[in-house]
Amino acid sequence: MVPVLFSDLGRKPYQEIWEFQEACLQKIVAQKIAARTDPDIHPDLFLFFVEHEPVFTLGKSGNETNLLASQQELLEKGIDYFKINRGGDITFHGPGQIVGYPIWDLDQIYTDIHRYLREIEQVVIQTIADFGIKNGSRKDGLTGVWVGEEKICAIGVRTSRWVTMHGFALNVNTDLENFNLIVPCGIQDKTVTSMKKILGSHIEMDQVKSSLKRNFEKIFPIKLKDYEV
């Protein structure tokens, strides 16, 4: 099993964590380069959970027209907006949503980004099933996790030298009204849901986080170790 350093970062603004991810990625890339001449060096792998302050993020292949709100509306609602370097289009992050950032050297796991995405989806599918949502699924050609025709989890990643960053965003108790200000993931004819909406009551975030961690260890060949940032 590959050791992965885990930390729950709590509630943080997006830019702070984006910069933190970039620093972790660059650290791992440097360790990989150093390991070419020193076999005793083993690059770190990280998994971080966070709740973000309200923010819209647009992936590098995204279309700005999928942001339906004006800059003034964003200012009034206290929602940030960033164009970022992950795949995918536009999405919302905010309180009540668990965002997971695996910053992994895939050379230590497997160098197959398609498999990596499908297995992150499977982690989420099994996690929501743990809470009684048994019909989580994939849709051909659309990355993420769906319940019926509604998306419950968005996924977007970036890789550099087989090191990943960004990750997934699972709607637990998320205020879904914020998704009305965008075309979520750039998909015109689909809507967004949450565990709270489906189950009809508030869900304990710590319970969902514990389930996610268990399922990461079941599906990927990893062992999580608590890590203090």
Token digits for 19?
A: 């910069």
Catalytic residue among 185, 192, 205, 212: 185
**CB neighbour list of residue 120: distance below 8 Å, 6 or more residues apart:** 102, 155, 167, 168
Map tokens 């079941």 to a residue: 218
Distance between CA 100 and CA 44 in Å, rounded?
17
Distance between CA 88 and CA 218 in Å, rounded?
27
- Rg of the chain taking only CA atoms, in angstroms: 17
Annotated catalytic, 185? yes
Spatial contact of 4 and 222, defined as CB atoms under 8 Å apart: yes
**CB neighbour list of residue 26: distance below 8 Å, 6 or more residues apart:** none
- By CB atoms closer than 10 A (0-12, 13-18, 19+), residue 17 is middle
Other CB atoms within 10 Å distance of the CB of residue 114: 8
**CB neighbour list of residue 186: distance below 8 Å, 6 or more residues apart:** 62, 63, 66, 88, 89, 90
What amino acid positions are annotated as catalytic residues?
185
